[in-house]
Amino acid sequence: MCGIFGIHARNEDVANLTYFGLFALQHRGQESAGIAVGNGHSVVIHRDMGLVNQVFSPGQLAEMNGVVALGHARYSTTGASRAENAHPLPIRHPVLGPAAIAHNGNLLNAESIRRDLEAQGVVFETSLDTEIMARLIESTHGKTWSEVIKGAFARVVGAYSCGVITSDSVIAIRDPFGFRPLCIGFIPHGSGQPSHVFASETCALDTVNATFVREVQPGEMVVMDEHGLQSVVFQKQNRHAMCVFEFIYFARPDSILKNCELEEARIRMGQVLAREAPVDADMVIALPDSGTPAAIGYAEASGIPFREGLVKSRYINRTFIQPTQSLREAGVMLKLNPLKRSLQGKRVIAVDDSIVRGTSSKRVIDMLRRARATEVHMRISSPPMRFPCFMGVDIGSSKELIAARRTVPQIRDYIGADSLAYLSIPGLMKAVGRGTIDEFCRACFDGSYPVAVPQQLEMDKLALETR
């Protein structure tokens, strides 16, 4: 997870535009936020714990003047959830001067790079893999930032959509597999030079009235400065592996990925699911908000009416991305309340996008039964999650993933549903509208990791399981 936003714009309030961009990306990370601004001479960073609007006041933003800015909304995968781990992280290159980095993803060879750098005398202040990138950039020789970043990222393996800001440029970098999304837009200024932006999702471009240009290609680095845009392909990879979970859950439904509006893809997931796993019932309801498009699709394809059955508090953050299990569980109860009169005496199909640990589903089904629904059929618009993610999504170890330990009938019994069915992997690929499954990472469903996972990382996950 995590959201990043970068902008190069002369005569614009780049800090405020970045603030708006981060606001649109808040769903990708709610633990901390930060913005760095380059003013031609230096890079000023403000970062702290909290939501974007808790970290920044109008006064702080007004003091951050410059021509380039880079923002980050964080969800932690490596490194604890605390203020010094908030991004962007400062960089001081011995030749090229100050910069900062923000990262969405997870490195697979972080430990070996860290050991090499420590052997050269580099001192680390955090356990973040992003700091490893920062120190690696500082240790890489080159006459320009492009050369340095190209050299540094040639050593990095894993999932990264990154932004680097210098005093007068901002640079978007996407890993050769393209695990995490990253897109480019521009803001026209009459006959003057347009402003360029990049963001984790297109919804952030819309927020600042930028026009979507294209995605940053896997293995591409895009430099935005006073000369406009320069593209550098720094690594080629035959196979691309965008995280299919971006389509299912992570990215906002109004974002466009691979030329596909995600709301539409999610509706199609529900339609395919209805054809794969039909059941007779009186109403289809969603687990709002992330299950809503798939529930609409299921209702359309099945002919069973879609109704609101659960009302969501607008002021609760997403439960899946809370850092601890107890916070996640408390979040479910605060978040949802059943429409008792609508549900009473009804056979209900409840559609959700995924089951991770099963605890949320169990609580929701209990809630529906207490509202006197006579039957509850659970339908999930993704395949069972059986394998951990090493590419930047904290879905936990195999021990935490209920589908890694139980069969579908056992999960049905655990959550207390009358029936349970998941979307198949071929059904998912059909719904995202792509013929070749090799364009996507789907390793949490089938264990087929697009990049070799170092044994140590697998052992670390195993250690978590046995703790």
Q: In the complex, which residues of this chain contact ligand SF4 (CB under 6 A)?
A: 179, 243-245, 389, 391, 393, 441-444
Is 145 or 179 the residue whose CB approaches ligand SF4 more closely? 179
Asked if residue 293 lies in contact with residue 263, where contact means CB atoms within 8 angstroms, the answer is: yes
Residue 346 CB: number of other CB atoms within 10 A?
19
Residue 180 C-beta: closest distance to ligand SF4, Å: 8
Least distance from ligand SF4 to the Cβ atom of residue 139, Å? 28
CA distance 452 to 462: 17
Q: Shortest approach of ligand SF4 to residue 215 CB, angstroms?
A: 16
**44 vs 385 by CB, closer to ligand SF4:** 385
Count Cβ atoms within 10 A of the Cβ of residue 60 and give its class: 0-12 exposed, 13-18 middle, 19 or more buried.
middle
* Closer Cβ to ligand SF4, 285 or 441, answer by number: 441
Query: Could you tell me the two tokens for 413?
Result: 């019994």
Cβ neighbours of residue 315 under 8 Å, at least 6 residues apart? Answer: none
Q: Give the shortest CB-244-to-ligand SF4 separation in angstroms.
A: 5
Amino acid at 223: V
Q: Which residues pair with 376 in a beta bridge?
A: 348
Angle at alpha carbon of residue 157, lines to 156 and 158, rounded to 5°: 125
> Which one of the listed residues 2, 162, 243, 444 is annotated catalytic?
2
Q: Is 424 helix (H, G, I), strand (E, B) or coil?
A: coil
Nearer to ligand SF4, 67 or 173 (CB): 173
Q: Quick check: helix, strand or coil at residue 166?
A: strand
Least gap, CB of 191 to ligand SF4 (angstroms): 43
Q: Which C-beta is closer to ligand SF4: that of 36 or that of 403?
A: 403
Contact 2, 29 (CB under 8 A): yes
| Longest CA pairwise span in the chain (Å) | 72
- Residue 415 C-beta: closest distance to ligand SF4, Å: 21
CB of 218 to ligand SF4, least distance (A): 13
Nearer to ligand SF4, 232 or 425 (CB): 425
In angstroms, rounded to a whole number, what is the distance separating the alpha carbons of residues 163 and 165?
Answer: 7
Q: Is 291 exposed, middle or buried, given 0-12, 13-18 or 19+ CB atoms closer than 10 A?
A: buried
Beta carbon nearer to ligand SF4, 191 or 436: 436
Structure tokens at 230: 């320069």
Buried b (16+ CB within 10 A) or exposed e, 325-342: eeebbebbeebbebeeeb
Tokens of 192: 């003057």
Distance CA 238, CA 236 (A): 7
Q: How far apart are the first and last CA of the chain?
A: 25
Q: Which is nearer to ligand SF4, 389 or 431 (CB)?
A: 389
Task: Report in angstroms how near the CB of residue 179 gets to ligand SF4 at its nearest.
Answer: 5
Instruction: Give the nearest distance from C-beta 258 to ligand SF4 in angstroms.
Output: 14
**Is the CB of 105 or the CB of 194 nearer to ligand SF4?**
105
Amino acid at the residue 128 = L
296, 456 Cβ separation under 8 angstroms: no
Q: What share of the chain is helix, strand, coil (3-state, %, to 5)?
A: 35, 25, 40
Q: Are the beta carbons of 279 and 445 closer than 8 angstroms?
A: no
For residue 324, give every residue at least 6 positions away whose Cβ sits within 8 Å of its Cβ, in sequence order, or none. none
Distance CA 295, CA 351 (A): 5
Our answer to whether residue 2 is catalytic in this structure is yes
Active site residues: 2
